[in-house]
């Protein structure tokens, strides 16, 4: 059985947000070079929406103290719902108020999900090289 290491999970969430921010900046610079100022700003907006929503979710999920497993699961559900709401509201606002390059905006938003999935896959014990059982000769407790 695996126990959740809360400080490690918090660090992972922060790394995801920072990685998404880095991907956003890189994509915005590429979009700026290829498509001009509107594309660069659009890429920043698309990636920024992902970063803000991920940061909000991480804050909700990991902001409180440790509690029961049911509370933790409930906070993940609430965090994901808030994240989705933030994404929808921000896209509606951006698309209705600003003139953006949709391809740059949505492509950067999608690119931030690569960071999310890479971070999650690297955190899985079987894929990251972490041991889930005790070394030979020791009892796993």
pTM: 0.81
Q: How does pLDDT run across 14-44, given as a tens digit for each residue?
A: 999 999 999 999 999 999 999 999 999 999 9
Q: Is residue 129 part of a domain?
A: no
Q: Is residue 132 part of a domain?
A: no
Q: Is residue 128 part of a domain?
A: no
CA–CA dist 56, 81 (Å, integer): 11
CA–CA dist 51, 45 (Å, integer): 10
Q: How does pLDDT run across 73-130, given as a tens digit for each residue?
A: 888 899 999 999 999 999 999 999 999 999 999 999 999 989 988 888 887 776 555 4
Q: Is residue 139 part of a domain?
A: no
* DSSP category for residue 130: -
- How many structural domains does the chain have? 1
User: What is the domain range of residue 85?
Assistant: 8-122
User: Is it the case that residue 4 has pLDDT exceeding 80?
Assistant: no
User: Is it the case that residue 10 has pLDDT exceeding 90?
Assistant: no
Q: Is residue 32 part of a domain?
A: yes
Tokens representing 42 are: 């659009």
Q: Is residue 20 part of a domain?
A: yes
pLDDT given at position 8: 82
Q: Is residue 27 part of a domain?
A: yes
Q: Is residue 63 part of a domain?
A: yes
pLDDT given at position 1: 41
Of 108 and 71, more confident: 108
Closest to 50 in 3D by CA, of 29, 78, 25: 25
CA–CA dist 8, 62 (Å, integer): 11
């Amino acid at each position: 059985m695996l126990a959740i290491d809360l400080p490690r999970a918090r660090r992972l969430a922060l790394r995801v947000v920072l990685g998404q921010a880095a991907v956003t900046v890189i994509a915005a610079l590429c979009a700026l070079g290829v498509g001009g100022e509107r594309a660069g700003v659009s890429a920043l907006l698309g990636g920024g929406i992902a970063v803000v929503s991920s940061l909000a979710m991480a804050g909700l999920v990991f902001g409180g103290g440790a509690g029961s497993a049911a509370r933790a699961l409930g906070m993940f559900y609430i965090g994901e719902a808030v994240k989705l709401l933030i994404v929808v509201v921000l896209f509606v606002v951006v698309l209705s108020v600003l003139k953006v390059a949709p391809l740059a905006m949505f492509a950067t938003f999608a690119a931030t999900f690569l960071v999310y999935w890479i971070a999650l896959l690297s955190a899985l014990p079987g894929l990251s090289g972490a041991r889930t059982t005790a070394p030979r000769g020791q009892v796993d407790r």
